[in-house]
C-alpha cells in the first residue's frame, strides 16, 4: 500500500489523539499544551518521513484536525504524500446523518477531496447497523471520497464479514497490542488479519508511557542488552511482527527515539521472549471482554486504560 503520490508508508505512524489536548467531543479536554507545541512536533515528524495517521474530527473537540492541517501546510510534505485515515467513532455521533456531516467537515478542514481510508469501529456497526454502515462506506468508495475502508476494535467474526463485503478495499484493522495487554494477540486477531491481507495497525502501543513505570524485567534486560530505551524495544518488537504502531509525541527527543526504534534488529530468541511474555496470572485479574456485547463503548479501550487497576 502506498500514498496517492506513490510513497511507501512509514513503519511507525503518528498518533493524533492528544493533539490539541486529550478528549473527544463528548469528553472534557485534559493535558492541553500550547497549539504551537503540537504544530512544531507534527511538522518535525512529517518532515522526518512519518507519513500515516488516523484522525477523528472529534479528537480534541476538533482541534486535532485543525492543528494537523496547519502542520501539514507548514511542512515540506504534500497531502498526497501522506496516508490519512478518517476515523468515525460512534461515541459522539447520534445517527448516520451525523456521520455524513462529520465526513464533510473532515474534507473541509483538511481542504481535501479524499481520505486514504475511512475507519469505523465494530461499535459503530453495532450502533448504526451493518447494512447502513456498509452502504454508507460503499458510497464513499464509489464516489472516490475514500480510497479504502478500515475497521477498529472488531471481533474475528466482524473482521471476516467486513472482508467479505469490501475485499481488497479493506485496508487495515486498528487494534491494541502493548507489552502487557495481549488479549487481541491471544484471540488470534492479528494472525487473522495477516492471513486475510489486512494491515495490522497498533493503537496506544506505549500505553501512554505507563508500560515503563512497571520496569518489567524483560524490558529492562533487553533495553540494557541492545542499549536502547524500553519504548524502542516495544516499538521494534511490534514492527518486527509486521505491525504498524501509531505513537503520539510532542517531544523531539521522543520522536527521534521512536523513529530510530526501527533501525536495529534483536535476536530471534528475544523476539520470541517478547511474544511469549504475559503478566503473571496470579497478579492480573482483568474483566473478560465480550467483543460482541461490550458493556459500554469498546471495552478493549477500558482494559488498556485500566490495566493498573487489575494488576497488583
Ligand atoms: N482505534 C482506537 O480505538 C484508538 C484508541 C486509542 C488511541 N488510538 C490512536 O492511537 C494513538 C496512540 O495512542 P496514545 O497517543 O493514546 O498513546 P501512546 O502513543 O501509547 O502514548 C503517547 C504518550 O507517550 C509519550 N511518548 C511517546 N514516545 C515516547 C518515548 N519514546 N518515550 C517516552 N514517552 C513517549 C508521549 O509523551 P511526549 O509527548 O512527551 O513524548 C505521550 O504522552 C492515538 O494518538 C490515536 O491516534 C486509537
Sequential DSSP letters for 215-266: --HHHHHHHHHHT--HHHHHHHHHHHTT-EEEE----HHHHHHHHHTTS---
- Tens digits of residue pLDDT in 70-80: 999 999 999 99
Residue 295, pLDDT score = 58
Question: Among residues of the chain, what percentage have pLDDT more than 70?
Answer: 98
Task: Tell me, yes or no, whether 307 lies in a domain.
Answer: no
What is the residue with the minimal CA distance to atom 48 of ligand 1?
203
Asked whether the predicted pLDDT for residue 65 surpasses 70, the reply is: yes
pTM: 0.97
Q: Are 11 and 239 in contact (CB under 8 A)?
A: yes
What is the residue with the minimal CA distance to atom 27 of ligand 1?
249
Residue 297, pLDDT score = 44
The closest-lying atom of ligand 1 relative to the alpha carbon of residue 254 is 31
The closest-lying atom of ligand 1 relative to the alpha carbon of residue 53 is 47
Asked whether the predicted pLDDT for residue 239 surpasses 60, the reply is: yes
What is the residue with the minimal CA distance to atom 36 of ligand 1?
249
For residue 91 and ligand 1, the question of a CB distance below 6 A is answered with no
What is the residue with the minimal CA distance to atom 4 of ligand 1?
203
Q: Average of pLDDT values for 21-27?
A: 91
Helices 252-260 and 230-240, axial angle in degrees (round to 10): 40
Q: Average of pLDDT values for 5-18?
A: 97
For residue 119 and ligand 1, the question of a CB distance below 6 A is answered with no
Cell of 206: 506505549
For residue 199 and ligand 1, the question of a CB distance below 6 A is answered with no
Helices 96-110 and 130-142, axial angle in degrees (round to 10): 30
State in Å: Cα 266 to ligand 1 middle. 23
For residue 208 and ligand 1, the question of a CB distance below 6 A is answered with yes
Residue 300, pLDDT score = 86
- Tens digits of residue pLDDT in 205-237: 999 999 999 999 999 999 999 999 999 999 999
Question: What phi and psi values does residue 202 have, to the nearest 5 degrees?
Answer: -110, 120
- The pick from 12, 15, 180 for probing ligand 1's pocket by mutation, whose C-beta has the most ligand atoms within 8 angstroms, reads 15
What pairs with residue 118 in β-bridges? 86, 149
State in Å: Cα 207 to ligand 1 middle. 7
pLDDT-based confidence at residue 177 (cuts at 50, 70, 90): very high
State in Å: Cα 274 to ligand 1 middle. 20
Task: Tell me, yes or no, whether 75 lies in a domain.
Answer: no
Q: Average of pLDDT values for 138-157?
A: 96
What is the residue with the minimal CA distance to atom 39 of ligand 1?
249
Task: Tell me, yes or no, whether 272 lies in a domain.
Answer: yes
For residue 23 and ligand 1, the question of a CB distance below 6 A is answered with no
Residue 294, pLDDT score = 64
What is the residue with the minimal CA distance to atom 38 of ligand 1?
249
- What number of other Cβ atoms are within 10 A of residue 94's Cβ? 10
Q: How far apart are CA 101 and CA 249, in angstroms?
A: 29
State in Å: Cα 18 to ligand 1 middle. 8
Residue 298, pLDDT score = 52
Q: Are 20 and 14 in contact (CB under 8 A)?
A: no
Q: Average of pLDDT values for 111-121?
A: 97
What is the residue with the minimal CA distance to atom 30 of ligand 1?
254
- Sequence-ordered strand ranges (E) for the chain: 13-15, 52-55, 83-88, 115-121, 146-152, 170-176, 199-203, 244-247
Indicate the average pLDDT of the chain: 95
Task: Tell me, yes or no, whether 101 lies in a domain.
Answer: no
Q: How far apart are CA 137 and CA 99, in angstroms?
A: 11
Q: Are 199 and 244 in contact (CB under 8 A)?
A: yes
Task: Tell me, yes or no, whether 224 lies in a domain.
Answer: yes
- Tens digits of residue pLDDT in 262-304: 999 999 999 999 999 999 999 999 888 877 776 554 578 888 9
For residue 153 and ligand 1, the question of a CB distance below 6 A is answered with yes
- Tens digits of residue pLDDT in 31-40: 999 999 999 9
Q: How far apart are CA 86 and CA 297, in angstroms?
A: 19
Task: Tell me, yes or no, whether 273 lies in a domain.
Answer: yes
What is the residue with the minimal CA distance to atom 13 of ligand 1?
204
Asked whether the predicted pLDDT for residue 191 surpasses 70, the reply is: yes
Q: Average of pLDDT values for 18-40?
A: 94
* Domain, as residue range, for 257: 212-241+249-278
Cell of 6: 506513490
Task: Tell me, yes or no, whether 229 lies in a domain.
Answer: yes
Task: Tell me, yes or no, whether 292 lies in a domain.
Answer: no
| Count: domains in the chain | 1
Classify burial at 52, counting beta carbons within 10 Å of its beta carbon; exposed 0-12, middle 13-18, buried 19 or more: buried
Amino acid at each position: 500500500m502506498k500514498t496517492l503520490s506513490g510513497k511507501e508508508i512509514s513503519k511507525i505512524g503518528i498518533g493524533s489523539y492528544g493533539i490539541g489536548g486529550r478528549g473527544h467531543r463528548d469528553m472534557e479536554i485534559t493535558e492541553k499544551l500550547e497549539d504551537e507545541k503540537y504544530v512544531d512536533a507534527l511538522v518535525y515528524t512529517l518532515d522526518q518521513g512519518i507519513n500515516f495517521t488516523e484522525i477523528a474530527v472529534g479528537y480534541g473537540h476538533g482541534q486535532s484536525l485543525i492543528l494537523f492541517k496547519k502542520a501539514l501546510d507548514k511542512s515540506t510534505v504534500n497531502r498526497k504524500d501522506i496516508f490519512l485515515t478518517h476515523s468515525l467513532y460512534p461515541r459522539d455521533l447520534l445517527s448516520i446523518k451525523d456521520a455524513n456531516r462529520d465526513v464533510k467537515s473532515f474534507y473541509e478542514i483538511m481542504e481535501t477531496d479524499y481520505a486514504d481510508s475511512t475507519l469505523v469501529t465494530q461499535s459503530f456497526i453495532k450502533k448504526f447497523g451493518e447494512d447502513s454502515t456498509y452502504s454508507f462506506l460503499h458510497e464513499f468508495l464509489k464516489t472516490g471520497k475514500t480510497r479504502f475502508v478500515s475497521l477498529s476494535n472488531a471481533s474475528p467474526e466482524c473482521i471476516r464479514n467486513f472482508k467479505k463485503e469490501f475485499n481488497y478495499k479493506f485496508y487495515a484493522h486498528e487494534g491494541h497490542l502493548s507489552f502487557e495487554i495481549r488479549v487481541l494477540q491471544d484471540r488470534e486477531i492479528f494472525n487473522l488479519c495477516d492471513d486475510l491481507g489486512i494491515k495490522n495497525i497498533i493503537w496506544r502501543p506505549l500505553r501512554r508511557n505507563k508500560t515503563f513505570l512497571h520496569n518489567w524485567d524483560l524490558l529492562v534486560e533487553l533495553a540494557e542488552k541492545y542499549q536502547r530505551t524500553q519504548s524502542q524495544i516495544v516499538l521494534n518488537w511490534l514492527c518486527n511482527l509486521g505491525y504498524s504502531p501509531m505513537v503520539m509525541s510532542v517531544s523531539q527527543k521522543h520522536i527521534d527515539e521512536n523513529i530510530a526504534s526501527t533501525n536495529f534488529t534483536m535476536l530471534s530468541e528475544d523476539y520470541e521472549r517478547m511474544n511469549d511474555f504475559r503478566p503473571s496470572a496470579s497478579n492480573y485479574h482483568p474483566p473478560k471482554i465480550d467483543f460482541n456485547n461490550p458493556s459500554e463503548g469498546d471495552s478493549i479501550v477500558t482494559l488498556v486504560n485500566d490495566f493498573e487497576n487489575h494488576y497488583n
